[in-house]
Amino acid sequence: MEIKVGYDSNSLPSYLADPLQMMWKLRIFLTEMRLKMAETGMKIIIGVLLLLCSIQDVRRKKLSLWVILTGAVLIGICMPFSTSLSLLDRFGGVIVGVGVIGISLLTGGKIGMGDGLLLCVTGIGLGFWGNMELFAAALAAAAVVSILLLVFRLANRKKSIPFVPFLLFSFLSILVFPRL
């Protein structure tokens, strides 16, 4: 009777038989996890930023520049670890916010400058199309609420409403229902 010590390479799964292949699969897995963590972290930062700015917008109708800049720095830290968007796409996302700042300047501040700055920061994290989707959904939600306020005579045409809560609502809606 013969006693075998160790393992026969034919009895092992193929990925265990080849340590290099196993290491390569582990590297790919860890890279994918890092990318998912960076994307998730960026979305959490954007969500918290929108929540904090929503509270400020409802209470004071002003946004703290420090909160917006802190969000921008944190998103900037996550950027090198996230490769789902190109730098050009992120720059396009910033352009959406710059457009809102331009509209704010043209209308004499009827649209808040802080809303534009906040959209610049969300544009870094979401890219052009993500930021456009966020902005369009927020505009639609704000329009519906404004119409309801006018119909039920709870506000007149001159009454201003905070816009950042609609950005938060839209962001959460897009996270929950990504393909509606």
- Per-residue pLDDT averaged across 136-164, rounded? 93
Lowest average pLDDT, out of 100-104, 110-114, 140-144, 162-166, goes to 110-114
In a domain, residue 127? The reply is yes
Q: Which domain holds residue 154?
A: 40-176
In a domain, residue 151? The reply is yes
CA angle (71 as vertex; 65, 75 as ends), nearest 5? 145
Q: What is the pTM (predicted TM-score) of this model? A: 0.84
In a domain, residue 53? The reply is yes
In a domain, residue 23? The reply is no
In a domain, residue 24? The reply is no
In a domain, residue 84? The reply is yes
- The total domain count for the chain is 1
For residue range 8-62, what is the model confidence (pLDDT) as tens digits? 555 555 555 567 677 778 888 888 888 889 899 999 999 999 999 999 999 999 9
Cα torsion 108, 63, 72, 30 to 10°: value is -130
